[in-house]
Amino acid sequence: MELYNAGVEIDYILTQYADMPEAESQRLTELKIHLYNQSYELYRAAVLTDQNDSLNYDPHTFAMCCNNLARELNFKQAYQEAITIVNEGIAQRKFMVILLNRMYIYMSAGMHENAIADGKELLREYSEEMDFVTLISTIDGVCLSHADIDQYSGMLYWADQGLELYQSVDPGDSVLQEEEVVRCVTNFYISKSKAMSMLGLEVNNSEDAEQADSLLENMPDNPSLMISRGETFAREKQWEKALECYDQVVHFGLEKGMARTVQVALYNRGYVLEAQMKDSEAALESFEQSIGHGNKDFWCYYWAVHSAYHLTENEKAVYYGTIAISLLAEQKEVKDDIAAELYEHIGTSLIDMGQYTEAVKNLEISLKLFYNRITEDNLKIAKAKAKEPTGFFRKFFGG
């Protein structure tokens, strides 16, 4: 028990003094994990092997120890080990915190159907025990897990459940301003919009606008609501008003330290500027700002490439294009024509940069993925240029 309690105390210190020097924080974190691991081994032997060890036979504390150690292993991306250990704990004692922890481990490990099952069990068995933040976060986890496996009906259902819960609270309640709540609600609005689009459902713009305006009267600085209002303006093709909303989101999001909300607003702003207003320069600036604030989403890089290409910002087109291509393996919904476009933009930019051999490689890949006459013509140019003598030989032969 002393080993486990010492680990818990260190965790408390790390939480209370989050601004301590990085080296000290790392040292204490490693010590905490070491203590959790020692107590896990001790309790495991008593609970699972030698049940005559009455001093250490404590299934509940063993389950708590499994929960804490699994959480730390999840942070270290040791997902399989974390799952094994958290399951050992659940086999002894199932309670809300350990089941919630396993749901998040499954999400991190990409085991989305398992995460959905845990989330539904949590909401069915433990919703009465949850505070508002835990409840809305659990719904968000289920919604995102449906999104990750392209189950759009489930995604829409849980986004609606989350928004219904959010709207059931008094608009003046300070809990609605908490960062985790704002993050979840932002996800619900985005998930609902995407799911309805993928399912071919018609969006009721006037209803969404009235709902957002009503809530904004009480929470004018709420970034999640402002994003929703911006999206309704965009669907109505009121581009300038949409941009005003996204600008407000960035302003308040930065004030409140809401990184993901800022990323989304800047991305949405860039998309409107590029796809609808054809202002590639301003669009590229927005996409780059979104990336600068930590956005690692494929589509943000894709549109950054698109804008840079139209501006003949060749180095940027190649740079962002290379990153976008590195993310392709994770993108189930991206078709070959999109991938081909990225390779074509990179290849054509490389021609302008005089890197003809690399241009040929990228353009050939593009054509294999999806035929395009312009790509074929550019490939001919790149091959011809690649065969031209360069440097000393060009001078020697009078090139």
Domains of the chain listed by start with CATH number: 179-190+204-291 (1.25.40.10), 296-399 (1.25.40.10)
Measured CA to CA, the distance from residue 350 to residue 354 in angstroms comes to 6
**Model pLDDT for residues 288-345, shown as the tens digit of each residue:** 999 999 999 999 999 999 999 999 999 999 999 999 999 998 887 789 999 999 999 9
**At 261, phi and psi to the nearest 5?**
-65, -40
Amino acid at 118: D
Measured CA to CA, the distance from residue 340 to residue 302 in angstroms comes to 12
**Model pLDDT for residues 153-187, shown as the tens digit of each residue:** 999 999 999 999 998 998 888 898 887 888 888 78
Measured CA to CA, the distance from residue 60 to residue 93 in angstroms comes to 6
Binning the chain into helix, strand and coil, the percentages to the nearest 5 are 80, 0, 20
Measured CA to CA, the distance from residue 308 to residue 314 in angstroms comes to 7
Q: Which residue has the tokens 């404590």?
A: 58
Measured CA to CA, the distance from residue 248 to residue 266 in angstroms comes to 11
Task: For residue 128, name the pLDDT band (cuts at 50, 70, 90).
Answer: very high
Residue (of 77, 86, 78, 152) closest to 114 by Cα position: 86
Helices (H), the chain: 2-16, 22-44, 59-75, 79-92, 96-108, 112-125, 132-148, 152-167, 179-198, 205-218, 223-235, 239-256, 259-271, 280-292, 298-310, 314-326, 336-352, 356-369, 373-387, 391-396
Measured CA to CA, the distance from residue 88 to residue 154 in angstroms comes to 30
**Model pLDDT for residues 10-53, shown as the tens digit of each residue:** 777 878 887 888 888 888 888 878 888 788 888 788 787 766 66
Amino acid at 112: H
**Model pLDDT for residues 236-285, shown as the tens digit of each residue:** 899 999 999 999 999 999 998 888 889 999 999 999 999 999 999 999 99
Mean pLDDT of 195-200: 86
Measured CA to CA, the distance from residue 110 to residue 32 in angstroms comes to 27
Eight-class DSSP state of 330:
G
What is the tally of helices (H) and strands (E) in the chain? Answer: 20, 0
Eight-class DSSP state of 257:
T
Average pLDDT, the chain: 88
